[in-house]
Amino acid sequence: MKGNTHKSVLLAVVVMLVLVVFTPVASTQGPEGAGKSADMHWSALDNVQRFTDTLDKAGFGVQEGDFRFWDLVKDTCEGKVPDALANNPWPNAYISMYFEPHDGVPTPPVDVFWQLREDEAIVLVGQTPPAAAYFSYQSFVAVPPGAPGRIGAPVGDTINIGTIHTIGPDRVNRPVIIIITGHRETEQRVRAAARAAGYPDAIINVETISPVIAPLGVSRDGKEGSWLGFVHRVAVPQDRVALEEYIKDPPYRLFRVTPVDPATGEVGAEPVLA
């Protein structure tokens, strides 16, 4: 009798251990974010409306921009830029950001350049490119305050095919969010809004603009704030037709977000350059 009792107790303990070991642990990101992390086939564009609504509730004004192909050859031929900036020809593609200027600021001759208030952020939401040998996302300071001409220096390390944060066994057509800002408090608030909208931390990338490299600000004459640019590059695609379709209709939404009440927190740290 005692032997049977011991066997029953031992069996119960074994069953409990099995349940503990094999029961999934709840994600700290919440049920929706956890589900998206497990599901590799969802699109970041699915939650954009919820994201912008969350940003609005978090105290941000949201201005949508345009993310499209930059025809450098055309701009060079039209005299907008003096050269093609040493960029490679097709099948290497370059997609850039376009924004309406801030109030009172004239449109620059090259409309791929824009300014950013010290407490603002740029947010890019979308899907990574089709299969290619290389792709990257990089912000540049085109003209810093007081510079006699174009500089074109990167603000930090590039986000590329080897470093990007996303989910899935590969980097092809995967969800991604890129936050570009020089303000730490703004970055934290935008990240929190993204998570509240259902995006997992695993797809959020941050590009920090150091005030040492590119002083931020908005001014008519460019003496107080840098003019910035952004290039998304895709090189050597496996399928040229797939890349052409990607360029014609880039699967992204682009926003400039501005705190309704100006942020007073700490500016971002200097980027760590590789």
Burial class (CB in 10 A: 0-12, 13-18, 19+), 32: middle
pLDDT band at 244 (very low <50, low <70, confident <90, very high): very high
Average pLDDT over residues 203-229: 89
Q: Which residues contact 170 (CB under 8 A, 6 or more apart)?
A: 131
Alpha-helical (H) ranges within the chain are 2-22, 31-38, 48-57, 72-77, 184-196, 240-248
Which residues, 6+ apart, have CB-to-CB distance to 250 below 8 Å? 67, 68, 69, 95, 126, 232
Lowest mean pLDDT across 4-13, 76-85, 188-197: 4-13
Confirm if 206 and 56 have CB atoms less than 8 A apart. Answer: no
pLDDT of residue 25 exceeding 80, the answer is: no
User: pLDDT tens across 38-66, in order?
Assistant: 556 789 999 999 999 999 999 999 999 99
Res. 6: pLDDT tops 70: no
- Indicate whether this model's pTM tops 0.95: no
165 vs 206: CA distance, rounded Å: 10
How many whole angstroms separate alpha carbon 124 and alpha carbon 253? 6
Range with lowest mean pLDDT among 3-17, 92-106, 118-132, 163-177: 3-17
**What does the pLDDT average to over 213-232?**
87
Could you tell me if 201 and 195 are in contact, meaning their C-beta atoms sit under 8 angstroms apart?
A: yes
Task: Work out the percent of the chain whose per-residue pLDDT is above 90.
Answer: 57
pLDDT, mean of residues 138-160: 88
Question: Which pLDDT score is estimated for 161?
Answer: 97
Is residue 28 over pLDDT 70? no
Please spell the DSSP secondary structure of 185-210, one letter per residue. HHHHHHHHHHHHTT--GGGEEEEE--
Per-residue model confidence (pLDDT) at position 37 = 53
pLDDT tens string 70-110: 888 788 888 887 777 767 666 667 899 999 999 988 888 78
Q: How confident is the model at residue 270 (pLDDT cuts 50, 70, 90)?
A: low
- The more confident residue out of 21 and 68 is 68
Per-residue model confidence (pLDDT) at position 215? 92
Topology at the third CATH level for domain 44-259: Jelly Rolls (2.60.120)
Whether the pLDDT of residue 29 is over 80: the answer is no
pLDDT band at 10 (very low <50, low <70, confident <90, very high): very low
pLDDT of residue 146: 80
SS3 78: coil
Q: Answer for the pair 266, 184: CB distance below 8 angstroms, yes or no.
A: yes
Question: Given this model, what pLDDT does residue 31 score?
Answer: 35
Q: How is the chain split into domains, by residue range?
A: 44-259
pLDDT of 207: 96
Mean pLDDT across the stretch 251-272?
A: 78
More confident of the two residues 143 and 14? 143
